[in-house]
Amino acid sequence: MEERFYREHAIARLPATLPATTYNLAHRLRLHAGACLFVPIRSMQYMAVLDAEEFIFVDSQHRAWVELAWQNFHPQVRGALDDAVPFEVVHYLPRAEETMQRLPGELLKALRLIDRRLKPGAPADVLDLRSRMPPP
C-alpha cells in the first residue's frame, strides 16, 4: 500500500526536545515495523507517520496534508540514553502551534498502546549459556 502526503511551505521552524522515553520507544517500534510506522492518535483524530528522517502528523479531516513535522533529530548529542533528544518542529499550517501543545503526550500514549499489543503474552526465560559451555 502506498500513501502520499503533501505539505505547503513551512511557516515556522522551532527547536524542541523530545523526552527519551518517547524517542526510544518510537525508534524501537519503527525499526520493528520496517520503513514506516503509522501511529493512530485516536484521542486527537490524528495520524503520525514515523520514518527514519522525520515524524509527520496529519489531521483525519485533511488526511493528505501534513500539518506539522518533527525533523532533524540529534540523538547522538545525548550523554546517556535517558537524555532528551533535540529536534526541530516544522509548522506547515497555522493551527500547528495549538496541535503541538497536546501532541507529545498523546503520541507517547499511542506508542505505548502499540507496544503493549506487540508484547508476547507468555513470560520469557533467560538461559545462562556460560554454564552449558565447556571450559576452553
The total number of structural domains that make up the chain: 1
- Domain span holding position 28: 15-118
95 found inside a domain:
yes
The predicted pLDDT at position 63 comes to: 81
pLDDT in tens, the chain (136 residues): 678 899 999 999 999 999 999 999 999 999 888 888 999 999 999 999 999 899 999 998 888 899 999 999 999 999 999 999 999 999 999 999 999 999 999 999 999 999 998 876 667 677 777 666 666 6
98 found inside a domain:
yes
The predicted pLDDT at position 132 comes to: 62
The DSSP code sequence of 89-105 is: EEE-STTHHHHHHHHHH
The predicted pLDDT at position 61 comes to: 86
Report d(CA 43, CA 106) in Å as an integer: 7
The predicted pLDDT at position 71 comes to: 97
Q: Which residue has the cell 489531521?
A: 59
Three-state DSSP class for residue 9: coil
The predicted pLDDT at position 107 comes to: 97
Report d(CA 12, CA 101) in Å as an integer: 15
Three-state DSSP class for residue 28: helix
The predicted pLDDT at position 76 comes to: 94
The predicted pLDDT at position 31 comes to: 87
Edge to edge, what strands does the sheet with 12-18 contain?
Answer: 12-18, 85-91, 66-71, 54-59, 46-50, 37-41
Q: What is the pTM of this model?
A: 0.82
The predicted pLDDT at position 1 comes to: 63
112 found inside a domain:
yes
128 found inside a domain:
no
6 found inside a domain:
no
